[in-house]
Structure 1
Amino acid sequence: MSATTSRRSLLTLALSAPLVGTVLAACGDSGPAGGSSAGATIWILTGQPGEGIRTDSVNAFNEANPDSELVLSSYQNDAFKAKIRTAIGANQSPTVIWTWGGGGLRDYVKNGQVEDLTSFFAENAELKDKLFASAFGAATVDDKIYAVPCENVSPIVMFYNMRLFEKVGAQLPKTWDDVMALVPTFNAAGIAPFSLGGQSRWTNMMWLEFLYDRIGGSELFTSIYEGTPDAWSHPDSIDALTKVQDLVRANGFINGFASITADSNADQALLYTDKAAMMLHGAWTYGAMKTDGGDFVTGGHLAWSTFPEVTGGKGDPSDSVGNPSSYYALSSQASDEAKTAAKKYFAEGLITDATTKAWVESGSVPIINGSDSLFTGSEDAEWLQFVYDTASQAKVFQQSWDQALSPTQAEALLDNISKLFGLAITPEEFAANMNATLAG
């Protein structure tokens, strides 16, 4: 995985490059759903390795199914986000909609813009059984499945620079109390305890996601997701918000973190250049650190773990947060012929031995039960197995909040998180501001 196309950048960061819009798999324009003379249409995101794997998948399907051909177009992240909503609203949607699931998918469902795929999975039970059960949460609305989980899984992970731990003679933290005790130890040695690309805002969010889970259990965010009045003011919520500010006030993050961006991979560089001892970040950063960090990864200087427990907390230590999967939805606006072609692709072409192998070779863990059998012999086998176990064994795999919530709530959340980490608002003010979005 290249340093400039991290998994998170494909999923949530706005990219400034213009629309690509290149038809890759067949001639013709994508046009309205099912309206192209070439058949069903599919739009995907650019950026390697994902773009190449997606393209190869569609090309292989088209070669094997000339009567069910999909026309493939690719778009940069930011352009895709704008174009897909405009297209869907104008009844010009592609047949197959690449989506993050969660709040965005719920909007599509609410507006009758995507097909209910529950019966599709009943008819293709073998396909469903192949996939991590944890991947279906963000694809499900009101107990019905509206998208096909696919591609790979990216939990949020606690990364450690073992060179620096050895330098100060410290052990890896197992609890939140251990984390707070390490802060003065590293600061005294002139080392930032944690790297953080705070300008990107969603990086700050990862801390709250885990603290909410470890303190209040998965039910705490579920109450927020379901719009329970004053859910953000729950005592466990205030406790989590307070703990984050305790870490900020203790100089737990590198100086100037609010000006550091994640899309430039500057936060990762702080870890592997020995400027910071720890980093909470997505699994997608492993490949970039391996590529850019010299012998940091290959030399055994990188360690990792799940997020530490909070003493007395209600959360299950196996719970994880992050990106459970990518998703493909089916446009309700498509013709019957196009829908049939798309469903054939979902059943036969989207998840194959070839795509599973390609994701593993890219340093990612596909959401396929048993795909860990392909890790043998890989120099990244230990890492891949950790990610596989984290995702497949998690009792709850909470989707990143900025994708789980509606777009309006997500923007309010990111804005208030930035203020919280900047100590510009109190935990109580944060809670009040976010409670106001529950009624919206």
Structure 2
Amino acid sequence: MTSSPASRRSFLTLALATPLTAAALTSCGGSSGPGEAPEGGASMWILTGQPGEGIRTDAVDAFNAANEDAAITLTAFQNDAYKTKIRTAMGADQAPTILPSWGGGGLRDYVRNDKVEDLTDFLEENTELRDSLFPSAFAAATVDDRIYAVPCEAVTPIVFYYNKAVFEQVGAQPPTTWDELLALVPVFNDAGIAPIALGGQSRWTNMMWLEYLYDRIGGAELFQSIYDGEPDAWSQPASIDALTKTQELVRAGGFVTGFASIAADTNADQALLYTGRAAMMLHGAWTYGSMKADGGEFVTGGDLGWMTFPSVEGGVGDPSATVGNPSGYYAVAASATDAEKEAAKKFLAEGLVTDATTQAWIDNGSVPIVLGSDSLFQDSEDAEWLQFVYDLASGASTFQQSWDQALSPTAADKLLENIEKLFNLSITPQQFADDMNTTLES
């Protein structure tokens, strides 16, 4: 079974995001079982990692204080642990009542297997919630013109960060083209500074480089052909070019030594940037908040710089295009009882997106997906950053959803395996493409 070309396309060109961090399992709040809810209430799983975890927890606490008869019980997981746990729970019909989703291919698989509730009518009944959110945020939650998850939280494109102090130290300017980026590699290496911080052990951080190179070289149509399942789409000339350029950067020493053993989930890659041990980093907009919290005066003192991804000479991609995660999403498990679903929907309608959560995301340097939230930026010390993200997301010619979310879980797993091999130089670009072609769905 496949979705229509129109519904496939909507995932990629309209999606506007939530922090994803990962590793071991932790817990905040109790739970009686894998997906067991308290009597009269609902169970909910959330992702760890600040500032998002705190905002999510505060939202549930506020809702519970006003709705004791429909209380939400929380369990928190780090990203990778959650991905494993939720697959098992969904397969066994033991999922929590409310579960995080990234939309795209994973949600589509849940829909095909009748694992999540259709929330279209719920959103029609709760127009105040629906109409308060970016319309484009619903695209990655839509399957065959029906909505299966509620958008929430923040918009987070992938951003090219740099350390102004180390650039000044070597007398360099931030790169605006791929050739300029390559030229900076020996400059920083000779100065004893890693050109680029990368948490390669996490693999999805490596993927960000490919996403932008595919876009800058082949344009939005390149990945669209992959998503549409066109034969041999991964081995198109623009695809091979992007894969080749990636390995050229690796071979040139562009990434920090030992990047394959650095975990993004511990924010070790961010630490390399804000301590001046690395000059640049490509990462999600959500890292601004954690760098502000952990990096001392690196952010508040003005040493953090940001920009769009460099252009590639000869590429056909629009320089205004961006990539990243659509909004955060929460779905409701189809296996939940009627009482649990009622409590869950009450929380989604009243507790998920509030004035308090909107302000909390802004206070932590994130752009909420709430319409008109930019009017609140002027009083924030992060106003310049917030406006950059808002303009980048709203002004993008296309906003490509992260590949490991847009693709089916099976194809996404294969993609991450091959990306790891590509960056470790254990396969060629053509071998990467040939293997990925086997995952295409027509």
TM range (shorter): 0.7 to 0.9
CA distance in 2, matches of 1:84, 1:190: 43
CA distance in 2, matches of 1:229, 1:308: 30
1:321 is paired with a residue of what secondary structure? strand
Partner of 1:49 in structure 2?
51
CA distance in 1, matches of 2:398, 2:33: 38
Q: Residues 216 and 319 of structure 2 are in contact (CA less than 8 Å); yes or no, is this contact kept in structure 1?
A: yes
CA distance in 1, matches of 2:281, 2:395: 23
Partner of 2:100 in structure 1?
98
| Aligned alpha-carbon RMSD (Å) | 2.6
Q: Does 1:22 align with 2:4?
A: no
Q: Normalised by the size of structure 2, how large is the TM-score? A: 0.87
CA distance in 2, matches of 1:41, 1:363: 29
Partner of 2:76 in structure 1?
75
Letter in 1 for 2:72: V
CA distance in 2, matches of 1:48, 1:169: 35
Q: Residues 50 and 290 of structure 2 are in contact (CA less than 8 Å); yes or no, is this contact kept in structure 1?
A: no
CA distance in 2, matches of 1:334, 1:257: 42
Q: Percent identity?
A: 67
Partner of 1:431 in structure 2?
433
Partner of 1:220 in structure 2?
222
2:297 is paired with a residue of what secondary structure? coil
Q: Normalised by the size of structure 1, how large is the TM-score? A: 0.88
Partner of 2:328 in structure 1?
326
CA distance in 1, matches of 2:46, 2:267: 23
Structure 1: any 5+ residue segments left out of the alignment? 1-6, 24-28
Structure 2: any 5+ residue segments left out of the alignment? 1-16
CA distance in 2, matches of 1:343, 1:236: 45
Q: Does 1:11 align with 2:11?
A: no
Q: Give aligned pairs, total.
A: 425
CA distance change for structure 1 residues 360 and 89 in 2, over 3 Å: closer, same or farther? Answer: same
For each residue in 1:276-327, what CA deviation from the matched residue of structure 2 results, as whole angstroms up to 9, or x when unmatched?
2211112222223223333222221111011112233232222222222211
Q: Residues 99 and 326 of structure 1 are in contact (CA less than 8 Å); yes or no, is this contact kept in structure 2?
A: yes
Partner of 2:8 in structure 1?
none
User: Once structures 1 and 2 are overlaid, which stretch shifts more, 73-82 or 207-216?
Assistant: 73-82
Residues 39-438 of structure 1 mapped to structure 2, 5 A cutoff: 39-65=41-67, 69-77=70-78, 78-438=80-440
Letter in 1 for 2:159: V
CA distance in 1, matches of 2:377, 2:96: 35
2:45 is paired with a residue of what secondary structure? strand
User: Once structures 1 and 2 are overlaid, which stretch shifts more, 306-315 or 115-124?
Assistant: 115-124
How much does 1:430 deviate?
A: 0.7
For each residue in 1:249-281, what CA deviation from the matched residue of structure 2 results, as whole angstroms up to 9, or x when unmatched?
222222332233222322222222222221111
CA distance change for structure 1 residues 299 and 399 in 2, over 3 Å: closer, same or farther? Answer: same
2:433 is paired with a residue of what secondary structure? helix
How much does 1:12 deviate?
A: 5.0
CA distance in 2, matches of 1:239, 1:189: 30
Q: Residues 176 and 311 of structure 2 are in contact (CA less than 8 Å); yes or no, is this contact kept in structure 1?
A: yes
How much does 1:189 deviate?
A: 3.5
CA distance in 2, matches of 1:160, 1:195: 10
CA distance in 2, matches of 1:239, 1:16: 36
Q: Residues 195 and 254 of structure 1 are in contact (CA less than 8 Å); yes or no, is this contact kept in structure 2?
A: yes
Letter in 2 for 1:16: A
1:375 is paired with a residue of what secondary structure? helix
CA distance in 1, matches of 2:244, 2:435: 16
CA distance in 2, matches of 1:277, 1:411: 30
CA distance in 1, matches of 2:137, 2:378: 24
CA distance change for structure 1 residues 95 and 313 in 2, over 3 Å: closer, same or farther? Answer: same
Q: Residues 29 and 73 of structure 2 are in contact (CA less than 8 Å); yes or no, is this contact kept in structure 1?
A: no
Letter in 2 for 1:72: T
User: Once structures 1 and 2 are overlaid, which stretch shifts more, 404-413 or 85-94?
Assistant: 85-94
CA distance in 1, matches of 2:35, 2:75: 16
Q: Residues 115 and 332 of structure 1 are in contact (CA less than 8 Å); yes or no, is this contact kept in structure 2?
A: yes
Letter in 2 for 1:199: Q
User: Once structures 1 and 2 are overlaid, which stretch shifts more, 380-389 or 89-98?
Assistant: 89-98
Partner of 1:4 in structure 2?
none
Partner of 1:26 in structure 2?
none
Letter in 1 for 2:103: G
How much does 1:32 deviate?
A: 6.0
1:420 is paired with a residue of what secondary structure? helix
CA distance change for structure 1 residues 219 and 204 in 2, over 3 Å: closer, same or farther? Answer: same
CA distance change for structure 1 residues 31 and 288 in 2, over 3 Å: closer, same or farther? Answer: closer
CA distance change for structure 1 residues 62 and 287 in 2, over 3 Å: closer, same or farther? Answer: closer
CA distance in 2, matches of 1:98, 1:273: 33
Q: Residues 194 and 253 of structure 1 are in contact (CA less than 8 Å); yes or no, is this contact kept in structure 2?
A: yes
CA distance in 2, matches of 1:163, 1:236: 35
1:438 is paired with a residue of what secondary structure? coil
